[in-house]
A and B are shown apart, each in its own frame.
Chain A
Amino acid sequence: MAALINVPPKAKRGDVIEIKTLMSHIMETGYRRTAAGDIVPRDIITSFSCRYNGSEIFRADLFPAIAANPFISFYTVATDSGTFEFEWIGDRGFSATAKAAITVE
């Protein structure tokens, strides 16, 4: 459950900044079979969200068609100094969170 987050540490107020996230996860599709012919049960991250100082700025529903170790990047306007909170939720009770701080001048 390792997350890689890339948020610029500093930004000018009003700047559009890019946020890149990567979560290590197998994203097992549920369509593969073992050599014995049994289906490998689905195990994917189904939802990702990002909150900026408490309010949600981005959310994604993921499906088996998202590659393993889901990489998601998106943009937001730097409004205030504070924290980004990231959350991944998936099958089999998977849940992971991460945080990143930003200073807005």
Chain B
Amino acid sequence: MMDNQDQTTRRHFLAVAGGAAVAGAVPVLTVRPAGATPAMLAAAIRDVVGAAVVHTGKVKLDIPPLVENGNTVPMTVSVASPMTAEDHVKSIHVFNEKNPQPNIGNFVLGPRAGRAVVSTRIRLADSQKIKAIAHLADGSFWSVSVDVVVTLAACTEEVI
């Protein structure tokens, strides 16, 4: 009796587990996260900075505080740096909090840039914080965060 019960339980368990594995495989393809969670943002930042401390300052992020259309938002990142061979910005990394994924762009500069300023146009799926991190030649990381309010979101509209 006990054996029988064990067997049915195990068979039942395997059936359920197998079903879950099959069911689990399908959503991986179709279900996308609704937004980059703070954990994903933290992981994306950790990928760039590693264990280093990120200081606040030196970086300036110019972005409209109120955005009507999230599909194209002008953004300029500038870093206070003399851009000499010894003291320059190696790279600039921009992140967001609530788009489907946390990265916006990585920009690799060097002493030949002369001026640590990069401009581009980005998409914003929601009102959220934008974070820019600069990696300096001495290995230090500096960051700034800016809040942006978005009235019409990008990414979510249907293709017609």
Q: A residues touching B (Cβ–Cβ < 8 Å)? A: 16-17, 29-35, 39-40, 52, 57-68, 70-77, 79
The chain A residue with its CB closest to the CB of B91 is A59
**Neighbouring A residues of B73 by C-beta, 8 Å:** 67
- Chain B interface residue count: which class? 35 or more
- A63 touching B155 by the CB < 8 A rule? no
Most buried by A among B72, B104, B112: B112
CA distance A57 to B115 in the complex (A): 12
**Neighbouring B residues of A40 by C-beta, 8 Å:** 159
CA distance A31 to B158 in the complex (A): 10
23 A-B contact pairs sorted by A residue (CB < 8 Å): A16-B115, A29-B154, A32-B156, A39-B32, A52-B112, A60-B107, A62-B105, A63-B104, A63-B105, A65-B105, A65-B124, A66-B104, A66-B120, A67-B71, A67-B73, A67-B123, A68-B71, A70-B120, A73-B119, A74-B113, A74-B118, A74-B119, A79-B112
- B123 touching A32 by the CB < 8 A rule? no
- A-B pair number, CB within 8 angstroms: 110
Q: A31-B156, A57-B112 are in contact. List 10 more A-B contacts (CB 8 A).
A: A29-B155, A32-B159, A35-B158, A60-B118, A60-B120, A61-B105, A64-B100, A65-B103, A67-B72, A74-B113
**Neighbouring B residues of A62 by C-beta, 8 Å:** 105
**Neighbouring B residues of A57 by C-beta, 8 Å:** 110, 112-113
- B114 touching A77 by the CB < 8 A rule? yes
Partner of B121, one of A31, A35, A70: A70
Q: How far is the CB of B28 from chain A (nearest CB, A)?
A: 12
Partner of B105, one of A16, A66, A77: A66
Q: Is the interface of A mostly helix, strand, loop or mixed?
A: strand
**Neighbouring B residues of A58 by C-beta, 8 Å:** 107-109, 113
Q: How far is the CB of A4 from chain B (nearest CB, A)?
A: 13
The chain B residue with its CB closest to the CB of A55 is B112
- A76 touching B122 by the CB < 8 A rule? no
Partner of A68, one of B72, B96, B99, B104: B72
**Neighbouring A residues of B32 by C-beta, 8 Å:** 30-31, 39
Q: How far is the CB of A16 from chain B (nearest CB, A)?
A: 4
- B158 touching A75 by the CB < 8 A rule? no
